[in-house]
Structure 1
Amino acid sequence: MAAHNELGKEGEEAASAYLSSRGYRIRHRNWHVGKLELDIIAEKDGELIVVEVKTRRNTRFGLPEEAVTERKIRRIVLATDAYVKRFAIDLPVRFDIITVTGIQPPFSIEHIEGAFLSPVW
């Protein structure tokens, strides 16, 4: 596996552990529907939380959360809609971003709750 893929996998592990340690129940990780993917789907306090994880070695070329573009948000929302329908979920949905920065653990982790809203088409 390429080094950047390995770092991304480690970042998702760190993000998942971070959420679990704060009382989130992880429902799924790397859930796919067609070509769409959700990194982490969690639940806490009666909310479904969809988490996009962005891992970077450093912020030299910008902040990790800047990689969550409008196109990416639309794809996350489409995948979330499929997830909610597939599992017949009747909970409010929140979209978060977790940024993971560093070369190896312990990483610097930032949790951006309510990072974006579902766009209106």
Structure 2
Amino acid sequence: MSIQNEHGRAGEQMAVDYLKSKGYTILHRNYRYLKAEIDIVASKDDILAIIEVKYRSSTSLGSIAETVTKKKIKLLVMATDQLVREQNINLDVRFDIITIFKTRDIERIEHLKDAFYHF
């Protein structure tokens, strides 16, 4: 497994732990539909949170959240639509991004709620 994949998995686990500490219930991890993947599907207070996790150990690439492209958003919306229909979920949907910045000395998690809209 590549270092990038290891960091991605570690970042997703940090995000899951963070969400649980905030009262979220984790429904799915790495939900896949066609070419799309949702990192984390969680619920809290009648909200279905579709969460994209971004992990970085350097800020040299700019804002972590800005790495979520229009193409990625389109894929997330498609996968979410499939998930909601196949499991007959009747909750409001919200798209979030959790950014994790971690170096040897710093660990910072930010939860951007309603990070983008699908309409």
TM-score class, shorter-chain normalisation, is over 0.9
1:109 match: 109
The range that moved more, 51-60 or 103-112, is 103-112
2:100 match: 100
Q: Report how many aligned residue pairs link the two structures.
A: 119
Identity of aligned residues (%): 45
Question: What's the TM-score once normalised by structure 1's chain length?
Answer: 0.93
Deviations 1:61-119 (A, max 9, x none): 11111111111111100000000011000111000000011146973100000100003
The range that moved more, 63-72 or 41-50, is 63-72
SS in 2 for 1:114: coil
Q: Determine whether 1:53 maps to 2:53.
A: yes
Question: What's the TM-score once normalised by structure 2's chain length?
Answer: 0.95
Distance, in Å, in 2 between the alignment partners of 1:54 and 1:32 is: 17
Q: CA RMSD in A?
A: 1.4
2:17 match: 17
SS in 1 for 2:59: coil
Residues 4 and 19 of structure 1: CA distance in aligned 2, closer, same or farther (over 3 Å): same
1:89 match: 89
Distance, in Å, in 2 between the alignment partners of 1:109 and 1:77 is: 24
What is the deviation of 1:49? Answer: 0.5
- 8 Å CA contact 1:14, 1:107 repeated in 2: no
* Gap runs ≥5 in structure 1: none
Matching residue's letter, 2:35:
K
2:34 match: 34
Residues 118 and 104 of structure 1: CA distance in aligned 2, closer, same or farther (over 3 Å): farther
* Gap runs ≥5 in structure 2: none
Residues 42 and 106 of structure 1: CA distance in aligned 2, closer, same or farther (over 3 Å): farther
Residues 106 and 29 of structure 1: CA distance in aligned 2, closer, same or farther (over 3 Å): farther
- 8 Å CA contact 2:35, 2:75 repeated in 1: no
Distance, in Å, in 2 between the alignment partners of 1:35 and 1:105 is: 36
Distance, in Å, in 2 between the alignment partners of 1:3 and 1:103 is: 14
